[in-house]
Amino acid sequence: MTSKAAALFSPLKVGSVIIRNRLAMSALTRNRALGTNPNDVMAEYYGQRAAGGAGLIVTEGILVSRQGTEWPFAPGIWNKEQTTGWKKIVDVVHANGASIYAQLWHVGRVAHPDAPEQKLAGTPVYGPSAIAARGGKFRHIPGLPGYVTPTAVEDPWTIIAEFKQAAIHAKEAGFDGVELHGANGYLPHQFLDSTSNKRTDQWGGSIENRARFGLEILKALVEVFGENVALKVSPAGGYNDVGMPLQETLDTYKYYLTAADKLGLAYITLVRYVPHTDVEFDGKKRATAHDVSASYRHLIKNAKVFINGAVTPEEGAGLVDAGTVDGVSIGFNWITHPDLVKRVQHGKPLDNVPDIKHLQWGKDESALGVGYTDYPTATY
């Protein structure tokens, strides 16, 4: 291990807990929760990665209410059975020395009314305004439809209350903290972005009004978890058809991140612009490409800062060593390498071959571990 890489392996205080290293596992949707309930295969998956050295694990997005997402087996945390399932996972992670945050998720306008879970919910697909996102492909719905025009949510406080209740359940399950999924064009991002939010009430129009929804969710989460609340943002946008002109983006996130940082958060994750995740409409890339770290890092004076978006351990070590960020949040390499931290420590290559076919589903309902818990560890 080089001296620069050693920067990744110093402990870090995040909220009220001390994580053992700076290599976090980012939220990764894996679509294994049959009936929206966490299960033993998921416990094995998270336990493997805790045993593999993760300092902080952020769960896949956990739905705060029943929604018809593009992932029919995404987990929830709105009832007792789900909460009990998550407690088993939390206990396994803690037993293996890692800390774990629940990422709380509402997809907003990128759900579908014909999805089975949306039908069970008996509620409309909500967005800040009745503006459809372009794109989408619901592979589990006949015809593979895309996104639809949502119903403008009448009273956003009702959804804020759902986030708070989800946080209460997360607390009961023993999570170390909660992360608000404020990125990737999901509901908090939809409210913040002027292309998806055309409201004329206190929740739309000015930057302050568009930021209100996300900030009020964070305040509600802080009421439950105190200093153990985090925020993830992707200012460049693109994914799920969000993104504003550059100056408006800079002004919006300057206000939003400055205000969020005053709430006493544990950390803020900044997602960089990643070209291969950008989407194209009418021959034009959707995202507003800019240097997210250079644009916003200096605004965050209290919370720890993690960087996410195609970050390698080698690059992350340099960023931490330079003091640019406090930690790095790694995604895809955690899918394929349950022992990622140990490999980095011992100079082992990250050479497992991704099982793309089973990325979002196992072989069948009786073999959910295929492409999920069957990646080998290195020989030490």
**Residue 82 half-sphere exposure, CB side, CA atoms within 13 Å?**
25
Helix (H/G/I), strand (E/B), else coil: 91: helix
What single DSSP character describes residue 283?
A: T
Strands (E), the chain: 12-14, 17-19, 23-25, 56-63, 99-105, 126-127, 151-152, 177-181, 229-233, 267-271, 280-281, 284-285, 304-308, 327-330
Annotated active-site residue in 45, 186, 267, 296: 186
Cβ pair 270, 261 in contact under 8 A: no
Distance CA 309, CA 315 (A): 11
Q: Is 142 exposed, middle or buried (0-12, 13-18, 19+ CB in 10 A)?
A: exposed
Strands (E), 138-202: 151-152, 177-181
Whether 256 is catalytic: no
Closest-CA residue to 109 (of 195, 216, 37): 195
Enzyme catalytic residues: 186
